[in-house]
Each structure stands twice: as structure tokens, then as C-alpha cells.
Structure 1
Amino acid sequence: MEEIITFLIYSGISVTLFLVLLLSRKWKNGAPPKVLSYFLISYLILFLTLSSSYLENDTISFFIFPIGIVIPFAMGTLLFFYIKAIYYHKLVSAKVILGHLIPFFLAILLCSIPAYLMNNMGQNIKYNISYSIPCIGLIHFGFYIFKSYKLLRESRSEVKQYYASLYKNDLKWLAIWVKGFFLFFIIDLISGLLISIFTSSLEFVIYFQILYLVSLIWYLGYYGIHQTTVFLPSSILSEEDTSPPSSTSIVHIDCQSEELILARKKLETIFTDQELFKKQDLSLRETAVTLELSNKKLSHILNECLQTNFYEYVNTHRVRYFCKKVKEGDAEKLTLLAIAYEAGFNSKATFNRVFKKQTGMTPIQFKKQV
């Protein structure tokens, strides 16, 4: 068992360090890789803190433990700002992040430094210092994980206003990771209760936490190695797009004005006649340029006049095109997926999900019906 735990610990350390190295090569691309690097470093400190009892290394215990017990103050904050940096990079700056990290620096001052100074003092004094503040840190961590999940959901909905495809912008791995850390928050709370009631459960609890954290970093490592483009996206929503949902100002427009009626007709023309929807990476900005409209005006036309968003509008035309081609007999010569790709879809999973949502049946069921 000890050999397995040791292997898990060193594999977790190796994967984390590899990801930090991978991210460091992208620091020139902006805030996202930098913030994620800092988050992974804080993650490594937490992991080493939990693993120190198994590593049996006094140096690691001495230097890492006092920082590790307060690192949750930083982890939740950094994860939140990583998500914000991906979607709204213009709102993220070092000054803003440092402002939110003030509780972490205070915890170092009030807890970590005294822990270093009291290293040779009585264990009861050290225990009292290293227990109360970390408990507050865990609550702080949970609060920012909740904020991260909420921001991620809002941001993913916002992306649908500006892109016809979510293949490179959906960041499902990040949503799973945020949920994973929220579950870790629950596990840590339960672990604290178990240890306080059954002191003999300490070894099992730490082993389980190590195993869980290793699985999270392995999961992230998969994207770091095999899907670098998804793992290291540049900022998804550019400065020309929008601000976060909470600060977006909605301007009501007259959908019956002559200008907007003409704009709607032109929009329908370029999608029906020119089949603009066939472009897989089509964006609202590109469509607005074609229509000679501003991004915001086109977005308002879709949202208020047509009661939809860019993602739904484009994919509705793609589904119509697919159905038309199947009815014309193209499915006898081509696979359904080939027709879907021709229509503009770039992912089988996305095509199946969108088609089922809009028609109430799978593509195969539709073909049989035809």
C-alpha cells in the first residue's frame, strides 16, 4: 500500500510540474496561462501538505506545511480569476487579483509566520493556530468555487451570443474541474468531522484526499498533453464582444423600424441564399461585418427581434440544411456525419445534441422517417 501511495504522490507532483512548464511557454499570450500557473503552484503546495506525512521528509514538512494550511485562501481566488481571464481578459489585472488575495496574505501573516516561529514550541499552541484560520480558509475556498461555477455558467451562455460553434470555446473540462473542486470542498468538510470524531481515521482520510487530488490533476494533464488548444485557449470573448453578463446594459430597440426590417431580411438572405452557416468557425463579428452592422446591433436583432442568440440561429439553419439534404436523397450517397459537417457542424456530439433538441429525434430516426 505504501508503494502505491508513494507512486500516486510522485505522479501527481510530476504532472503538476509538467503542466506549469507547459503553461510557462504561453505566458506571453496574456493573463490566462499565468493565472492558471499560479493556481497549479498553489495546488501543488496543498498536495505536498497532504502528502508530507507519507513522504517522511522533514524539510518539506517544515517549509510547506505552514503555507499549505492557508493555501485554500489563494486557490479559490485564482481559479475564479482564471475563468474570468479566459472570458473577460480586459477585466483582469494583477492589481485586481492582488486585491482579492489580501485574505491569503493576512493568513500568512497571522498563521504561517507564527507556525514557522513556533515550530519548536508546544504542539497544542501550534495546533490552535493552524486549525482556526485554515477552517476559515476552507469556507473562503468554497465561496470562490461557487462564484467560479456561477461565472462559468454565465460565461458559457454568453459565448452562444457570439459563436456558432462551442467546440473550442465550451471548456467542458474546466466545468468538470470546478465541480471536482467543489466536491473536494465537501470531502474536506466531511474529513474534518471524521478526524474530530474518530482520530484513528486520519491516515485513511489523507490517503483518500491524495487519491482524489491525483485524479483531478491527471484529468487536467490529459487536456494539457492531448488537447493543448482546448487546454490553453486565448481569451474567448474579445474586447469587441462584450462585458460580463452582470454588467451588460440592455438597450431596447424598435424591431419594426425600417432599418432593422431591412437588416433582418439581409440576414436571412446571407444565410438562406449564400449559406453563410456552412462556415464552421463562424462568429457574430464576422456576420456583422458582412451585414455592415455593429456587433451589438446584430446581437440585439437576434435577441430582441428574433428571440434567439447567434448560436441557436446559425444551428437552426444548419439543421434545416441537413434535413433538406436527407430528403433530397444525399444520405444514400453520404454518411449522416458527412452531411452534418457540410452543413457547418464540426463535432458529432454537438450535431446530435442540437439536432435532437430542435427536432425531438435523432438523425438516424429522422432518416428512417424520411
Structure 2
Amino acid sequence: MLILFGRGRRYQNLLLCIGIAGIIWYAVMYLLTSTGYIRHYPYLFNKGLPFYYLIGPCFYLYIRGTIYPQYTSFRKIDLLHLLVTIPAICSIMPYCLLDDVGQQYVVDQIAKDQNYSFSGAKYVVGIWHWFTWPLTALIYTVLQYHLIKNAAISASLTQKSKKWMYGITMICLITFGMILTLNLAVLFDKTSAAIILNSSKMIVFLALCFLTLGGAFFVNPNFIYGHFVLNGENIAHTDSSTVQEKPLSKQSLFKEEVTPILPDFELIDHLEAYLSKSKIYLETGLTLSKLAVAADIPSYKLSELLNTYYEQNFNAYVNVWRIKYIVQRLEIGDHKFLTLEALANEAGFTSRNSFFTAFKKQMGLSPSAYIGTLKLKTA
């Protein structure tokens, strides 16, 4: 979904997808290997090692692009970060080139004895990979920490942004540190490998780290969709083609001038035209998601538009249209035939109090007082 709906953030979202995919693959392969079910999926074994090496670099590049807009597009120099996967690709090739019978034999051996994964056998990746890839991820996470620290010193991040980025970085440090500790524990005590891999307290702690890492993105989706606060202004990353790179001096490396992006007036016109024509705002219980689908606007773009351009939440914005509708009905004299409660229900309000509050907030008068002004005009 990140790739399909990212539009202007495709490169950033690709980095995030690879990092998340690496963690998911590690967790799935760990479960399959430790339970012995890997025997049913020989085609999956030994395939994820290059992804593991990319977790650290991808999170680092993602955070860098989140802080500095000039890094949101692909740069050829970023290919250097892929070099860490070369040893991993070389190590998995012997197994990948085996026929089906050979691969089945290898996974059967692992299902019988988990120590076989750490035996250094020809068709199993080298033992050294089990501590080099988490160590590589730790190094990139430390670099990520310094990146955030320098940006924080330059005052280019809000307090909320700093806390979130520091939090993600600390979770990554703990996660990769636990993976490294777990792998080293197995390497130094292979006789207890089954116990360590299946019932160690480290496994429970590692699972909590994975859960927390996912939760960090869940509670802050703005960092996925590209809308965050920089230098006290709302910034939404646009397509990389609109970002012009500037030569960076040492002084400007960690402090960039960010030009606020103009609202999407075409999208604004589309939304208002749709609301005027369809009158969908009259539906009771209308939600942002339902409006987004009906108006053919991505939910995150609609939410971003309401927050940044209209400076209102969804309910307040819809109430503006409902009150506008009721005012039109009052001006043509419908209050003579219908009660205010009936008009409010027709407009989509679910209670008398919510209607009166919204009306007074928008019009500065209660509905009854507003009707009084209409009577004075016609008198």
C-alpha cells in the first residue's frame, strides 16, 4: 500500500517497505526454523539474508529523507549502501542453486536439529553472518542517532518529531542489540540452542520490541505519509522531481531552508464541487473514509487538506456545510413549516446540542436569534 499510494514519496516508502519487510521476514523465518515447520517451505530458507543487511541502511536513509527534503529522491551515491548485501548474496547462492531434493534435505536437517543452522555447513550461510548483520544494523542506527541529534541542535525539528525519531532509533538499537545477543548466545552455547531459541526470556523481549516498532508507526502515521512539522511549519513532501538539490556547505548540512508547499487548489476545488453537487454531508454518521472513497480522494490527502488548509478536523468541516445548508433553508422560510430539530436531523446532526453548538460557533447567534434577524429583514 505504501508503494501504490505513496505517489510523491515512492522512494521514501520503498526504503521503509524494505526495512519493514526485512524485519517481517526475519520474524517469520525465526518462527518456521524454531518450530521445525521450515521443512514444509524449503524455497523460503536462506533467501532473506540480503534483506537483513538492508534493514539498518533503509531505516537510516528513510529518517534522513524525512528530516531533509533534498534526500527524498534517489541519488546514485545511495547505491553504496547496497554493497553490504554482496557477501550475503554470495553466501546464499550455493543453497539457491541446489535442486529441490537437495534443498529439502537441508531443511529436514534443520528441522531435526536447530544447531545445523549454525554448523557452517556448505549449504547453510556462514556463522559469521549471524553477528555481522545485526552489528551492521547497529552501526547504521548509531549513525541515524547522530543524524537526528545534529538536526535537533539546528532546531529544524519540532519537539514531537524529535521524540518520535529518537524513540524509533532507541527501539532499533534495542531490537538489533537483542538479535545480536541472541545469536551470540546460540553460537557460544550450541547445546542449549533449542532452549534459547524457543523459551528464552530474550525471545519475549524481542517480540515486544517488534510490536513496539510497529506501534510507533501506527500512532504516528504522518511519518509514513510524509506530513510532519519542520521549522514550525507543516511540510508535506512532494514528488522528488519538484525538489531541487542544492550544494551543501558544512553550515547548511544539518540546517536547510524549507519552502512551505502551496495547497493543492485543484484538489480543493474538486472536494468543494463534489460536496455541493452530492450533498453527501447530509448523511448521518458520515466519516472521513467514506467521504474520501466517494470523492475519490486518498484518505491521507483529505485529512492533510483539512488540517493544513481549512485548519479544521473532519467533523468541524462537515458541520460547516451542514450549517450552510440549514441557513439556506431558514432563509427561504422552511422554519415556518419544520421545527429546528427536524431541519437539524435532515442536515445530518444527531443531537439538538451538537446542532446548536455548531450553529452558534459558525453564525455567532443561536438558531432562534438568527431566525429573529430574518424576521426583522422581512418586516
Please report the TM-score for the alignment, with normalisation by the length of structure 2. 0.50
Would the alpha carbon gap of residues 95 and 132 (structure 1) be closer, same or farther in structure 2, given more than 3 Å must change? same
Corresponding residue number in structure 1 for 2:196: 205
Q: Which has the larger radius of gyration?
A: 2
What displacement does 1:35 show? Answer: 1.5
Residue matched to 2:27: 47
Provide closer, same or farther for how the CA distance between residues 78 and 244 of structure 1 changes in structure 2, counting only shifts above 3 A: farther
Match of 1:93 among 70, 74, 82: 74
> What letter corresponds to residue 174 of structure 2 in structure 1?
L
Instruction: Give the Cα–Cα distance (whole angstroms) in 2 for the partners of residues 137 and 61 of structure 1.
Output: 23
User: 1-side partners of 2:229 and 2:77: how far apart?
Assistant: 20
Aligned residue number for residue 122 of structure 2: 126
The residue aligned with 1:184 is 175
Query: What is the CA-CA distance between 1:111 and the residue it aligns to?
Result: 0.7
Amino acid at match of 1:28: R
User: Amino acid of the residue matched to residue 58 of structure 1?
Assistant: I
Indicate conservation of the 8 Å contact 1:49/1:65, yes or no: yes
Instruction: Report the equivalent of 2:207.
Output: 214
For 2:191 and 2:41, the matched residues in 1 are separated by 21
SS of the aligned residue for 1:130 comes to coil
| Corresponding position of 2:62 | 82
In the aligned structure 1, how far is the partner of 2:219 from the partner of 2:183?
36
Are 1:151 and 2:144 matched, yes or no?
Answer: no
Change (3 A) 1:96 1:202: same
Aligned partners of 2:21, 2:229: CA distance in 1, in Å?
A: 24
CA deviation digits over 1:63-91, x for unaligned, max 9? 33313344331111111101111012323
Provide the C-alpha distance between the structure 2 equivalents of 1:133 and 1:180, rounded to a whole number of angstroms.
22
**Equivalent residue letter for 1:29:** G
- Check the 8 A contact 2:91/2:126 in 1, yes or no: yes
Gaps of 5+ in 2: 110-115, 236-242, 261-379
Count of paired positions: 227
Task: Say whether the 8 Å CA contact 2:6–2:13 is kept in structure 1.
Answer: yes
- Counterpart contact for 1:195–1:202, Cα < 8 Å: yes
Residues 241 and 117 of structure 1: is their aligned pair in 2 closer, same or farther, counting only changes over 3 Å? Answer: closer
Deviation per CA, 1:223-274: give whole Å up to 9, x if none.
4444422553347667699987956279xxxxxxxxxxxxxxxxxxxxxxxx
Deviation, 1:61, is 5.0
For the pair 1:141 / 2:120, whether they are aligned, the reply is no
Residues 124-174 of structure 1: CA deviation (Å, up to 9, x unaligned)? 52377431244332332222121111112222333x24x6x533x33x233
Q: Paired residue for 2:46?
A: 66
User: Which residue identity is paired with 1:102?
Assistant: L
Question: Which letter maps to 2:56?
Answer: G
1:145 and 1:81 mapped to 2: Cα distance? Answer: 10
Aligned amino acid, residue 248 of structure 1 = S
Counting only pairs closer than 5 Å after superposition, residues 216-295 of structure 1 correspond to structure 2 as 216-234=209-227, 248=252
RMSD: 3.7
Q: 1:38-64, CA deviations, whole angstroms, 9 ceiling, x for partnerless residues?
A: 211111111122211245433675233
Is the contact made by 2:138 and 2:173 (CA closer than 8 Å) also made in structure 1? yes
Q: Which runs of 5+ in 1 are unaligned?
A: 1-20, 251-282, 287-370
